[in-house]
Structure 1
Amino acid sequence: MTRILTAFLFLLAVPALAQLKHSKETQYPTYRGLVMAGYQGWFRAAGDGSGAQHFAYGDENRSGIDMWPDISEYEKTYITPFKLANGQPARFFSSYDKSTVDLHFKWMQEYGVDGVFMQRFFSNARHRDSTSSVILKNAFAAASRYKRAIAVMYDLSGLKASGEDCSAIIEDWKYLVDQLKVTNQAGTKTYLQENGKPVVAIWGIGFPDRPYNLRNIGLDRLIDFLKNDPVYGGCAVMLGVPTAWRTLNADCLPDPYLHTLIKQADMVLPWTVQRYSPLLHNDMDRLRDNIISDLAWCRANKVAYVPCVYPGFSWHNLSRYEFPDDVKPSGSIPREGGRFYWQQITTALTAGANRLYVAMFDEVNEGTAIFKVTDQPPVSNTTPFVNLDGKPSDTYLWLTGEAAKMLRNEKPVSIKMPERNK
């Protein structure tokens, strides 16, 4: 009787022996040696089928775009209110089109960009809108097709000051794992892992301009869930933090609780967009010193370090409306034909970095895009666009691929920016 009861109790306990839903298989078992970029994927166009009421490119009265994409290779493009110098209407792409996402991942493969973190804003996690899900599905299919690394990055932008915490992200991660199969995609498995664990990034922790309180939005619970849940956990967590995260000053909240959170994570990504500029004397020396000190802290606390690099910055058009008292100049951080981007890359590598994060792949609204943009943007009396200093549209994709070769020791690190074979 005792044996029968024991066997019965064991059978009852079997369902409780949960197993992780993530595939153990991937072509990218570690971030080490990779150049990953951030992928916004939120650009919409009139008539693209997404039902969006506000279109990314805007119009002469209000636009949120500071660079214009090179649309020559897109299968589908859409007429905008803007005009080119020859009087023809300027056209734009839509991230909602599968062909658009496919082309972007094709470029990644062609130029040697290892992959991307798909941005998942808090509003997407809260509402789980169908449009963002379609784009994610298309991205994971394209990542598999072109064998590019891919991972999810949650951006806390949109989290309210009170009455909300990170519970929506927990539920959304379950949805992404169960319904979209992000960590077990069909075809070639390419979800980015670290030490055999799928990487999940949480961005927006420790910034003083955020409305939420760092201590009461459930970050401890979220990190614990992602790392330890018996079904949806087993993940490696990367936290996106301010540049001055280590010293807790300047652009960072002066709260040591941030260090507590970072020590619970696996990787830390300091956000450096607008924090360094080619217009400041010896700013690369400051970047080098910060990376060296950051790396030392990370080694002491067993946290991997991911430097952020970016090609330039411009946020004039949208800032005119969102921050009329602090309008950003057009092209406020110039690209210098790629020189500024290359300086950051080589500074990070010579300082000891073994992985890189590029901000961003497709962000033309803040002028940080590395994908193909045009040197001949629309002509407007009210809406200035940044050009490419006379460089080819694929310049920054090519430079990123060259950076990946140096990172993997396929070619020596060269402080001098490489020249392309003609």
Structure 2
Amino acid sequence: MRRLSILYGILLLIVFTACSKKSNPKPPKDDDDPVVVVPETPEESPVGDVVGKITVGYQGWFTAAGDGSPQNNWGHQNIESWPDVSEYATTYQTTLPDLENGQPAKMFSSWDASTVNKHFEWMKQYNIDCAALQRFCNEITPGSDIKAFRDGMATKVKNAAEANGVKFYIMYDASGWKNLEVMKADWENTITGSLDLLSSPQYAKQNGKPVVSIYGLGYAHHPGNAAEALDLINWFKAKGCYVIGSVAGQWRTGTGDSQPNFINTYKAFNMISGWAVGRVVDGNYGSWVNGDRDFCKANGIDYQPCAYPGTSFHNTNGDASPKNQFPRRHGDFLWSQFAVFKNSGVRSVYVAMFDEVNEATQIFKTAENTSQIPAGKWFLTLDADGVAVSSDFYLRLVSDGGKMIKGQLPYSASHPTPHIE
């Protein structure tokens, strides 16, 4: 027994010595290899209402004479592409000539609940997960007609999202405004106050937190310096929000449209989405997306790049903006961005925009050819690049792009979507 006790004691001594060495490693001598401590990479957020999903921007700002809106007049009619209104329950006669095919030139109003419901019905049909409702800081002054319109639109979007099973969230647009503080008051008094949007089961949440997005922080000609922007982001985070930053495309470098010295401010966002509209996304776009992705991953930020189908602003700017400035190339332009994202391992995408016919970034149904636009007028039609496509082509294309991003379709460098179905 004594021998066993001695052996047991020796064994305990060996185990204790080994553990001591493991927990208190010998510091390296000058001639030893340096000890390199590799920091743990922050984990990306799990799939939620925006992470791992396809989100579209939703303007909802078109009004018409006689629509009963607070404006009750034509608004945002500086349109570049003509909408296909064949499926709308209510439309309004414009003063434009009849369409080339003899049909009257009618326009929808976003104020009609049936219009918003139709749009969200399309989102559901074409596998769009979430809509970011635009809310402009220069339009939310209490007591104004335009704020009444924006508040009404928020309620209509909530109802349509609930009816169709699509998520939505508020996206503030700070461009054209000087006071960032207006967002704090609006969030407390209207969004979570009188409208009570966050009580909707369809209000988007990520990591259990209600989502809010802010467009414009860090832009060279938009309001807020780095400290003011950081204060706003932290204010929303203190309110329990998951905060997305929709920032200039060159946000990491402080060049182009972006301000320098904003990097630490950007690090406060929960998600970053670099704006792409009007930006060249051919050539080395993959390396830029990879750079954004790597920065976000290294700093524990989710990444949501922006894709757009093409853009044109001629009917508003005249000859200062060429017709068909960034051609859609019958879907090739938009799909090339989805292909880059897939190659870069991107999980979340923001598509600009669902309904903005003002800058021809819309993906919803618009005129296929000149027979479907007012006679004698120029509007950018979907066949402008020499290939006929159906009015729902870009909805179907985004559906397929989303499926590829989610792994439901295999990677393809060229789009698989039929031009006409």
| 1: CA distance, partners of 2:379 / 2:257 | 28
| 2: CA distance, partners of 1:203 / 1:315 | 20
Aligned to 1:384: 378
**Residues 9-408 of structure 1: pairs in structure 2 closer than 5 A:** 29-52=48-71, 55-56=74-75, 58=77, 64-83=78-97, 84-127=99-142, 129-160=147-178, 165-174=179-188, 175-185=190-200, 189-210=201-222, 212-215=223-226, 218-228=228-238, 233-253=239-259, 255-256=260-261, 258-276=262-280, 283=282, 285-320=283-318, 327-376=320-369, 377-379=372-374, 381=376, 383-389=377-383, 390-408=388-406
| 2: CA distance, partners of 1:399 / 1:419 | 6
1:352 CA displacement: 1.6
Cα distance change, pair 250–123 in 1 and its aligned pair in 2 (3 A): closer
1:400 CA displacement: 0.9
Query: Does the CA contact (< 8 Å) of 1:82 and 1:378 recur in 2?
Result: no
Deviation digits for residues 374-396 of structure 1 (CA, Å, limit 9, x no counterpart) = 11442454x52000112100001
1:329 CA displacement: 0.9
Query: Does the CA contact (< 8 Å) of 1:48 and 1:94 recur in 2?
Result: yes
| 2: CA distance, partners of 1:57 / 1:68 | 13
Bigger CA radius of gyration: 2
Deviation digits for residues 284-334 of structure 1 (CA, Å, limit 9, x no counterpart) = x321110001111111111111110000101111123xxxxx711111111
- Structure 2, unmatched stretches of 5+, are 1-46
| 1: CA distance, partners of 2:330 / 2:379 | 16
1:266 CA displacement: 0.4
Query: Does the CA contact (< 8 Å) of 1:361 and 1:370 recur in 2?
Result: yes
| 1: CA distance, partners of 2:159 / 2:115 | 12
The residue type equivalent to 1:192 in the other structure is A
| 2: CA distance, partners of 1:335 / 1:56 | 26
Query: Does the CA contact (< 8 Å) of 2:397 and 2:417 recur in 1?
Result: no
> What secondary structure is seen at the aligned counterpart in 2 of 1:82?
coil
| 1: CA distance, partners of 2:211 / 2:57 | 14
Query: Does the CA contact (< 8 Å) of 1:56 and 1:65 recur in 2?
Result: no
Q: Percent identity?
A: 36
Aligned to 1:10: none
Query: Does the CA contact (< 8 Å) of 1:227 and 1:236 recur in 2?
Result: yes
| 2: CA distance, partners of 1:182 / 1:124 | 18
Cα distance change, pair 184–57 in 1 and its aligned pair in 2 (3 A): closer
| 1: CA distance, partners of 2:211 / 2:271 | 9
> What secondary structure is seen at the aligned counterpart in 1 of 2:359?
coil
Deviates more, 1:64-73 or 1:200-209: 200-209
| 1: CA distance, partners of 2:287 / 2:65 | 47
Q: TM-score, normalised by structure 1?
A: 0.82
Aligned to 1:3: none
Query: Does the CA contact (< 8 Å) of 1:57 and 1:80 recur in 2?
Result: no
> What secondary structure is seen at the aligned counterpart in 2 of 1:153?
strand
1:371 CA displacement: 0.6
| 2: CA distance, partners of 1:133 / 1:213 | 25
| 1: CA distance, partners of 2:410 / 2:187 | 40
Deviates more, 1:78-87 or 1:371-380: 371-380
1:153 CA displacement: 0.2
Higher-RCO chain (CA-CA 8 Å, sequence separation at least 6): 1
| 2: CA distance, partners of 1:181 / 1:213 | 28
1:54 CA displacement: 5.4
| 1: CA distance, partners of 2:107 / 2:309 | 22
The residue type equivalent to 2:218 in the other structure is G
The residue type equivalent to 1:222 in the other structure is L
Query: Does the CA contact (< 8 Å) of 1:149 and 1:191 recur in 2?
Result: yes
> What secondary structure is seen at the aligned counterpart in 2 of 1:365?
coil
The RMSD of aligned alpha carbons is 1.8
> What secondary structure is seen at the aligned counterpart in 2 of 1:264?
coil
| 2: CA distance, partners of 1:56 / 1:392 | 27
Q: Give the number of aligned pairs.
A: 363
1:73 CA displacement: 0.4
Query: Does the CA contact (< 8 Å) of 2:105 and 2:374 recur in 1?
Result: no
Query: Does the CA contact (< 8 Å) of 2:81 and 2:366 recur in 1?
Result: yes
| 2: CA distance, partners of 1:96 / 1:157 | 23
Deviation digits for residues 389-413 of structure 1 (CA, Å, limit 9, x no counterpart) = 1210000111111112112211212
| 2: CA distance, partners of 1:213 / 1:355 | 27
The residue type equivalent to 1:49 in the other structure is G
